[in-house]
Amino acid sequence: MKKTTCILGIVLSLFILFLLTSCGRQAFVQKDNQFDFSKIRTYAWVEGTQKDSTPKKQKVNDLVDRKIRESINRNLQQNGWREVKNNPDVVLVYDMDVQKENRKVSDPVYSMPTTRYFYNPYSRRFVPVYYPSQFLGYDNRTETVKEGTITLTMMNAANEKTIWQGWTSSEVNGRRMTDKEIDENVKAILKKLS
Provide the pLDDT for residue 52. Answer: 41
Q: What domain range is 133 assigned to?
A: 26-194
What's 32's DSSP letter? -
- Evaluate if residue 7 carries a pLDDT over 80: no
Tens digits of per-residue pLDDT, 165-187? 988 888 877 667 778 888 888 88
- Evaluate if residue 54 carries a pLDDT over 50: no
1 pLDDT tier (thresholds 50, 70, 90): low
In a domain, 183, yes or no: yes
Q: Enumerate residues 6+ apart whose C-beta is below 8 A from 136.
A: 109, 110, 111
In a domain, 8, yes or no: no
Quick one: what percent of the chain has pLDDT higher than 90?
21
In a domain, 89, yes or no: yes
Q: Which of 25-34, 73-82, 133-142, 184-193 has the highest mean pLDDT?
A: 133-142
Structural domains of the chain, count: 1
Which residue type, as a one-letter code, is found at position 35? Answer: F
In a domain, 16, yes or no: no
In a domain, 3, yes or no: no
> SS3 for 5?
helix
24 pLDDT tier (thresholds 50, 70, 90): low
- Evaluate if residue 15 carries a pLDDT over 80: no
In a domain, 9, yes or no: no
In a domain, 73, yes or no: yes
- Evaluate if residue 26 carries a pLDDT over 80: yes
Which residue type, as a one-letter code, is found at position 99? Answer: Q
Convert 24-60 to b/e letters by CB count within 10 Å (16 or more is b): eeebeeeeeeeeeeeebeebbbeeeebeeeeeeeeee
67 pLDDT tier (thresholds 50, 70, 90): confident
CATH number of the domain enclosing 194: 3.30.160.670
In a domain, 149, yes or no: yes
